[in-house]
A and B are shown apart, each in its own frame.
Chain A
Amino acid sequence: NAGVTQTPKFQVLKTGQSMTLQCAQDMNHNSMYWYRQDPGMGLRLIYYSASEGTTDKGEVPNGYNVSRLNKREFSLRLESAAPSQTSVYFCASSESVIFLGSGVHFGNGTRLTVT
């Protein structure tokens, strides 16, 4: 079972460049999430998608956009990358945003550096 798959694993961007981080899950989960992880900060929610066709802002949405392409896929786009967006990005999924009792499952992350 692949679980949650993210691509790419690593990326280096120059300030102002754009890119899209891809995420897919094969667990038939309804809800998907994008988090960022920064040293000493834990993980913070950027955006989430409760179900196919819906997206909502999390704690730190500025500078990002998302697309829930279908039930499996949820992408994160940086339109104009800034050094403050240097981070490790994690995609996650769960059965539902309402019921978390079965757990939230994470991908292996994308390490992004913006110079």
Chain B
Amino acid sequence: AQSVTQPDIHITVSEGASLELRCNYSYGATPYLFWYVQSPGQGLQLLLKYFSGDTLVQGIKGFEAEFKRSQSSFNLRKPSVHWSDAAEYFCAVGAWGSQGNLIFGKGTKLSVKP
């Protein structure tokens, strides 16, 4: 079955520390992979996406993610977290011909300590 797993429900990091949010997927076809961020009461903003090519992708707000096919993972990273990064982060997967049906993980809530 197609699925996306974000193993960490809640992560707390100190401001200025590095961040890695984990995402593992199970998908039969070659995947499109996305990371979205959602601030409280807001919609989902696309941080970055992987379609093909270079497996390390750069996104907005200083985020990057690395696609590792052998591990079925697409982890999100940031070298130095800012207080404004506190939000919920969602990993999602789709595919060519999936009729736009993105499969979402259940999200990881990020808290940032001063």
Contacts and interface: CB of A to CB of B under 8 A. Distances in A.
Contacts, number: 71
Q: In which size bucket is the chain A interface?
A: 20 to 34
Contacts of A98: 96-97, 99
Contacts of B98: 97, 100
Q: In which size bucket is the chain B interface?
A: 20 to 34
B44 interface: yes
The A interface is mostly helix, strand or loop, or mixed, namely loop
A104 B90 contact: no
Contacts of B105: 42
Interface of A: 4, 31, 33, 40-45, 48, 50, 56, 58-59, 90, 94, 96-101, 103-109
5 contacts: A42-B90, A43-B44, A97-B100, A104-B34, A106-B46
